[in-house]
Amino acid sequence: MHHARQHAESCTRERRQRLAHEAARLMAEGGIRDYHQAKLKAASRLGIHDDASLPRNREIEDALREYQRLFVGEAHVTGLRRRREAALRAMEFLSAFAPRLVGPVLEGTADANTPVHVHLHSDDPDAVTRFLEEHRIPAEPRERRLRIDRERVADLPVWVFSAEELSFDLTVLPHDALRQAPLSSVDERPMKRASATQLRQLLAEEDIARYEMDAARR
């Protein structure tokens, strides 16, 4: 009985890994952005239909990082660096709104089509509208629902625009959201986020790591 249970658990783990890697591949190659959609499509492709085998979003994210490292390589590193540098310039430009970088560009899973997601903070949402209009930035208004915490959900204004041949996605939150980030759709924990200072530090650490790697190859 014990061995049978161990075997069943081992089979479930193996199916979860297969599904996580297939979902990651679909996200990387097919441009799917939604984790739930990716895992259901992967399950359909692999003919796996038991819920216990469905991987967690974080497992798919880890598999996506691994896929990008193995199959995209230097192009992924270069594209990610470009987006992070562009994010820093945008955050410096939007410094009046306490910007925080969030999402795949910060997490390291951004691909060639991923927008730069930035959270802005203001108790006057129209202040961001006026700022963009004053600087003649043609931004498209949208709306996004985020979980502020375990009890609260909010529909928040979003502005989308293009610059430096990249897409930028700005979500405007109330100022007190600086105390705790909204919950991530990946794992329902507070989103990882970075201020401009923290992003500069991340870029500097990348430079050091790249220098050390190049030095080791010589």
Indicate if the alpha-carbon torsion angle 107, 81, 161, 135 is positive or negative. Answer: positive
Domain range 74-217, its CATH number among 3.30.460.10, 3.30.1340.10, 1.10.357.10, 3.90.226.10: 3.30.460.10
Residue 4 identity (one-letter amino acid): A
What is the pLDDT tens value at each position of the chain, 218 positions in all? Answer: 556 566 566 777 888 888 888 887 887 777 777 778 887 888 888 888 777 778 888 888 788 777 777 766 677 788 899 999 999 999 999 999 999 999 999 988 888 888 999 999 999 979 999 999 999 999 999 999 999 888 889 999 999 999 989 999 999 999 999 998 999 887 888 999 999 999 999 999 988 877 776 677 76
For the chain, the structural domain boundaries read: 2-72, 74-217
Residue 33 identity (one-letter amino acid): R
Q: Torsions phi, psi of 166, nearest 5? A: -130, 155
The model carries a pTM of: 0.76
